[in-house]
Structure 1
Amino acid sequence: MSASQVGVWETDFQSDLTFGDATLAALFGVDPLDAANGLPLADYIRNVSLEDREMLFDRLNHVRLSGGMFVVEYRTHPTPDDVRWVLARGRYERDPRTGAMMGRGIVIDITDSKLNGQMSDRAIFVMPDRGEAALDRIASLAIMVRREIDELGERESSPLRKAIDTLLWAVGRALAAAQTAQSDRKSRFN
């Protein structure tokens, strides 16, 4: 299997079936015909590295319940002797007709880039749908970025800290202005 192959998947939680193409099947070591016809999610998870399963479940449980987007890197074992690094990106959302949670996305084979010195870098991003306004989502994301920058140990004078602090300040001002405008509208109607 060559690197940078892209597999496509779709999960229907009501039927507990995940449908995938031949590339997805190869990355997870399942039969391509079975993947095309749909397999329980557990059949794919069985071939996720034991060291990555808890992290994967932890990150995905939020979006699997309420909907949302995710990007997660983890390892699979298509065969006992083969380890593949994959980058999964997807979105879970409710089917407007049935109300059932559906997931769709891609899985990219990034094994070669991991073997070329990027082993410790991992993409992990989860953004559950919260029904928030755009400005509230921006604030939440900015706070998440600030925590990550703090984890890097950046000094207050570093360009990253200055940039995120400026963004947080601007978002705070915008939120305050929106709150004031909303209060003004309410007082006009009372």
Structure 2
Amino acid sequence: MTAFQPDLSSALAGSACLGAWAHDPASDRIALSPVLARLLAVPAEAATGTSLTLALAAVEAEDAVRVAGVLRAAGEDGRPFEAEFRTRPGPDGARWLRLMGRCGRDPATGAVTTQGLAFDLTEGRRPVGSDAQQAQRQVNRLADHAAAMKGLVAGLRNPPLARLVDEVAVEVGHELARHLRGGGRQVH
């Protein structure tokens, strides 16, 4: 693969892609790639269609409730989404995973299915490098999330929440500036 001739399979392999999944909102059943099924402790024979409850049993409880809600909402509005969650510690240890997908209607059958890809984020969350490099990566992620929150809160018509998100964004900006200056004194 070169920058001028991208290759999808190489790109997916390099992105920690765990494979595809599909959720049927009507039956609340989900099909998982073999790797994703293994990480979620779903038996191989059930990976082609198991209850969402079973598939989320190996996910941290508060994350499982949120992921189930995200999948149900996607089944209702059809918009693209992504959801990050943690698995409970198992043979592979605890993992950070991301589901990305959207819901659509099969033109032939009219059936509604939410489907997408799963990614393993665990390696990107493990400490690597010096403390300063780890802190810089953490602040960069904070800045990404702060920018995402600002974009999301705008449509909620909740001025007090918008002010709080603005305050968080300013504090994250101060922290980012402090790290970019080499970790000197506090900026504010």
Mean alpha-carbon deviation: is it higher for 42-51 or for 145-154? 145-154
- Give runs of aligned pairs for residues 124-163 of structure 1, distance below 5 A: 143-144=154-155, 151-153=165-167, 154=169
Residue 9 of structure 1: aligned partner: 21
Deviation readout 1:1-42 (Å, 9 max, x if unpaired): xx924221112234443222211112211122321x321222
* Residues 1:63 and 2:77 aligned together: no
Using structure 1 for the length normalisation, give the TM-score.
Answer: 0.57
- Give runs of aligned pairs for residues 161-176 of structure 1, distance below 5 A: none
Higher RCO (CA-CA < 8 Å; seq separation 6+): 1
Tell me how many residue pairs correspond in the alignment: 137
Residue 44 of structure 1: aligned partner: 55
* Residues 1:24 and 2:24 aligned together: no
Residue 98 of structure 1: aligned partner: 109
Structure with higher strand content: 1
Runs (4+) of structure 1 moved beyond 4 Å? 117-123, 144-150
The code of the aligned residue for 1:82 comes to G
> Does the residue aligned with 2:36 lie in a helix, a strand or coil?
helix
Structure 1 unpaired stretches of 5+: 124-139, 159-190
Residue 177 of structure 2: aligned partner: none
Taking the aligned partners of 1:58 and 1:76, their CA distance within structure 2 comes to 17
Using structure 2 for the length normalisation, give the TM-score.
Answer: 0.57
1:78 to partner: Cα distance: 6.7
Mean alpha-carbon deviation: is it higher for 101-110 or for 23-32? 23-32
* Residues 1:88 and 2:102 aligned together: no
Taking the aligned partners of 1:27 and 1:152, their CA distance within structure 2 comes to 37
For the Cα contact (< 8 Å) 1:29–1:78, is it kept in 2? Answer: no
> Does the residue aligned with 2:86 lie in a helix, a strand or coil?
strand
Residue 45 of structure 2: aligned partner: 33
Taking the aligned partners of 2:89 and 2:40, their CA distance within structure 1 comes to 5
Change (3 A) 1:4 1:145: farther
Change (3 A) 1:149 1:72: farther
For the Cα contact (< 8 Å) 1:29–1:77, is it kept in 2? Answer: no
Change (3 A) 1:25 1:57: closer
